[in-house]
Amino acid sequence: MEPHEPDLSAVPVTAVLAALADDVRLQIVRALAEGGERACGTFDFGVSKATRSHHLKVLREAGLTRTRAAGTSRLVRLRHDELNKLYPGLLDAVLAPRPPA
- What is the tens place of the pLDDT at every residue in 1-16? 556 778 888 889 999 9
pLDDT tens-digit map of 50-78? 999 999 999 999 999 999 988 888 999 99
Closest CA relative to residue 88, chosen from 96, 98, 80 = 80
Q: For residues 74 and 2, what is the distance between their CA atoms, to the nearest angstrom?
A: 9
pLDDT for the residue numbered 1: 52
Per residue in 39-48, is it b (16+ CB within 10 Å) or e — as a string? ebeebeeeee
Give me the domains of the chain, ranges plus CATH numbers: 11-95 (1.10.10.10)
Q: List, in sequence order, the alpha helices (H) in the chain.
A: 13-20, 23-35, 49-61, 80-86, 90-95
